[in-house]
Amino acid sequence: MRLQRAWYAIRGRAYPRTVGAAREPSWIFYDLALPILGVFAFVFVYRALDAPAQFTSYVIMGGATIAFWMNVMWNMAAQFYWEKHQGNLELYMMAPCGLVPILLGMAWGGMLATTVRAAVVVAVGILLFKAPLAVSSWPLFVLIFTLGLIALYGLGMFFSSLFLLWGREAWHMVSLLQEPVYLVSGFYFPVRALGLWVGMAASIIPITLALDGLRQVMFPSFHPGLLPVRWEVLGLAALAVLFVVLALRMLRFMERLARQEGRLSFRW
């Protein structure tokens, strides 16, 4: 019964995310046109330098990944803060399904909608720039992609409770994290170029390992990987477990604090 209710709640909360894409076409500009503009700039730089064609694919992959990072930061991490101000969070807390399925529904809906957006970025990039795209192992590709998504949305779920406690400062944190992550996670270049230790430090953001792993699977003989793929897969699996566990603990902590201190309901 509880599992069934949890499943219904996940499905229910995912719904606005999935239909939202069709009803609010602004994503075409923010999540598609803007990342593609960034991709354009880097593609032309690499072409001007006579870089191998694989670099175009590199950049397209990075551009597609931006959609996930934006979604995690603005629609996961900052979402509870939004929900609080709309009055939804109280209703979610009062619901017998609990907050976990609601958060999972948010993540699931976000993953589905964003995967479609990222796929469109890749398709547009390949069509426009005739970028070479070859995957050496689809199972490995899917495994890295899936682990990367779980770890990334786990991080988003963790941030959602954390940002709720921080209040308005959360907005600044989202802005603060956006551009530096584009750099240190190697969105437009191999992260190894930053050096092993910077790359390792940046690997706390799951996108770093996921992007590097996917590029290694796509260009096995070309890509200067940060770590061997199997280590990156293990790292992503560890991050996925870590962030999901942290997210669940943080959620419980946030709910307890909210009930004890009235943070959701009152401002004193």
Partner 1 sequence: MSAAIETQDLVRTFRVRRSKQSPSGAPVVALDGVTLEVQRGEIFGLLGPNGAGKTTLIKILVTLLLPTAGRAVVEGFDVRTQAQQVRERISMVSGGEHSGYGLLTVREQLWMFSQFYGIPTGEALSRIDRLLQVVGLFEERHRKVQQLSTGMRQKMNLVRGLVSDPRVLFFDEPTVGLDVGAARDIRAYIRTWIADRSDRTILLTTHYMSEAEELCDRVAIIHKGKIIACDSPAQLKRATSGGAYFVLNTERLDGADFLRRIPGVSRVDSAERDGHTELRLQLAEDGAIAGVVTALTQQGRRILQLQKVEPTLEDAFVTLVGQRLEEADQEAGGA
Which parts of this chain interact with partner 1 (CB under 8 A)? Answer: 1, 4-5, 8-9, 11-13, 15-16, 19-20, 23-24, 86-88, 90-98, 102, 258-262, 264-266, 268
DSSP code, position 33:
I
Minimum CB separation of residue 112 from partner 1 in Å reads 16
The residue written with tokens 């109280």 in the block is: 90
CA 127 to each of CA 121, 131, 133: distance values in angstroms, whole numbers, following the listed order: 10, 8, 11
Contacts of 70 (CB under 8 A, 6+ apart): 30, 31, 178
CA 33 to each of CA 36, 221, 227: distance values in angstroms, whole numbers, following the listed order: 5, 31, 32
Q: In this complex, which beta carbon is closest to partner 1, that of residue 109 or of residue 148?
A: 109
Minimum CB separation of residue 170 from partner 1 in Å reads 19
What tokens appear for 254 in the block? 């946030």
Q: In this complex, which beta carbon is closest to partner 1, that of residue 98 or of residue 132?
A: 98
CB-CB contact of 60 with 41 (8 Å)? no
Minimum CB separation of residue 22 from partner 1 in Å reads 9
Minimum CB separation of residue 250 from partner 1 in Å reads 19
Q: In this complex, which beta carbon is closest to partner 1, that of residue 169 or of residue 261?
A: 261
Question: Computed over its alpha carbons, how large is the radius of gyration of the chain?
Answer: 19
3-state secondary structure 133-160: CCCCCHHHHHHHHHHHHHHHHHHHHHHH
Of 252, 253, 254, whose CA–CA distance to 264 is shortest? 254
Minimum CB separation of residue 23 from partner 1 in Å reads 5
Q: Residues 186, 48, 33, 191: what is their CA dihedral angle, to the nearest 10 degrees?
A: 0
Minimum CB separation of residue 89 from partner 1 in Å reads 9
Q: In this complex, which beta carbon is closest to partner 1, that of residue 96 or of residue 139?
A: 96
Q: In this complex, which beta carbon is closest to partner 1, that of residue 26 or of residue 221?
A: 26
Alpha carbon distance 161, 244 (integer Å): 12
Q: In this complex, which beta carbon is closest to partner 1, that of residue 1 or of residue 49?
A: 1
